[in-house]
Amino acid sequence: MSLTEALRAQPALLIAVCALFGLAIGSFLNVLALRLPRMMQAAWKRESRHFLGLPAEEAPTVPLTLWSPPSTCPACGARIRPWHNVPLLGWLVLRGRCADCRAPISPQYPLVELAAGVAAAVCAWRFGWSAALAPALILSFALIALTVIDLREQLLPDSLTLPLLWLGLLLSCLGLFATPRASILGAALGYLALWSVYHLFKLVTGKEGMGYGDFKLLAALGAWFGAGSLVLIVLLSSVVGALVGLSLMAFAGHRRDQPIPFGPYLAGAGWIVLIWGAVLHRMLPL
């Protein structure tokens, strides 16, 4: 029996393999979440200097990319050894501290790896060995990366949201998650819904309530799941966002004027619809 036949015939094996794959991808998602905003900032700085006619700054010896330079401890600069980069286990073996200087290592790293592993396992359980599994994994990993970046930087990069939008539209041609008509309407209405809320809120209060990245993320989710899922996504994300915001103000001293990124709630709602959307649509008259 080939590996493909074994994965198709044994759901438990497929779930285990996807979980391990998710843990490995989670390690890359940590790098992506940390480096992509810094790469974008460097690009904006170069473009701004060029636009203003200022001389270009001296380029670093090793340009920052997703692949180089190798990962190092932010406290002492020691290079992270390959065996310390083993997803989840490396952090546990080191007890959350650098092997050289013993500085604390952020729990973000194992949490993201664990989230990716669990999400991949759930996708394998939900979709099995089917054409929908690979797209579901891609969407799950992208939503995790967007969540981490938005929590850290209050930024939803176009380099992640726009490919998701186009992929959702292309997948609709295969009828995997939505029909082409529902996908196109979902993308357009998803963008316009939050765009309208943004401008209405700004007109009434004179403040900006959310960023354009939120519009694009909801447009991408609309492209994946169709216009009929937009109300469910917005409802889920708004309820969870309101509960979290009230909890932060009540228990963590969060000020009312202190911004809370909305992207993580949209991403979470989108993933819930990916896995349980059909059940929720049957339960709720939306």
| Placement of tokens 């700085």 in the chain | 45
Q: In terms of domains, do 39 and 165 share one?
A: no
Higher-pLDDT residue of 84 and 116 is 116
| Placement of tokens 């604390």 in the chain | 104
Q: Which pLDDT score, from 0 to 100, does residue 250 have?
A: 64
Q: Which pLDDT score, from 0 to 100, does residue 117 have?
A: 97
Cα separation values, 280 from 10, 92, 192, 230, Å: 28, 37, 24, 13
Q: In terms of domains, do 135 and 266 share one?
A: yes
d(CA 224, CA 227): 9
3-state secondary structure of 104: strand
Q: Look at the chain and report how many structural domains it folds into.
A: 2
Q: Is the pLDDT of residue 115 over 80?
A: yes
Q: Which residues contact 110 (CB under 8 A, 6 or more apart)?
A: 87, 88, 91, 92
pLDDT digits (tens, 9 = 90+) for 269-284: 999 999 999 888 888 7
Q: In terms of domains, do 81 and 159 share one?
A: no
Q: Is the pLDDT of residue 25 over 60?
A: yes
Q: Which pLDDT score, from 0 to 100, does residue 253 have?
A: 61
Q: What is the pLDDT confidence band of residue 170, given thresholds at 50, 70 and 90?
A: very high
Cα separation values, 82 from 35, 86, 115, 227, Å: 19, 7, 21, 45
Q: Which domain holds residue 136?
A: 130-286
Kindly state the average pLDDT of the residues 206-214.
82
Q: In terms of domains, do 74 and 186 share one?
A: no
Q: Is the pLDDT of residue 241 over 90?
A: no
Q: Is the pLDDT of residue 234 over 80?
A: yes
Q: In terms of domains, do 83 and 159 share one?
A: no
3-state secondary structure of 160: helix
Q: In terms of domains, do 35 and 1 share one?
A: yes
Helix axis angle for 180-205 and 230-251, nearest 10°, is 40
Q: Are 120 and 25 contacting, i.e. CB atoms less than 8 angstroms apart?
A: yes
Q: In terms of domains, do 169 and 278 share one?
A: yes
Give the residue from 84, 106, 129 where a domain finishes. 129
Give the residue from 96, 129, 162 where a domain finishes. 129
Q: In terms of domains, do 146 and 284 share one?
A: yes
pLDDT digits (tens, 9 = 90+) for 40-82: 998 888 888 888 888 877 766 668 888 888 888 877 877 888 8
Higher-pLDDT residue of 172 and 42 is 172
Q: In terms of domains, do 89 and 124 share one?
A: yes
pLDDT digits (tens, 9 = 90+) for 248-258: 666 556 666 66
Q: In terms of domains, do 110 and 122 share one?
A: yes
d(CA 128, CA 147): 25
Angle at 34 between CA 159 and CA 124, to 5 degrees: 70
d(CA 12, CA 121): 10
Q: Which pLDDT score, from 0 to 100, does residue 248 have?
A: 62
Q: Is the pLDDT of residue 200 over 80?
A: yes
Q: Which residues contact 149 (CB under 8 A, 6 or more apart)?
A: 33, 36, 37, 155, 156, 157, 160
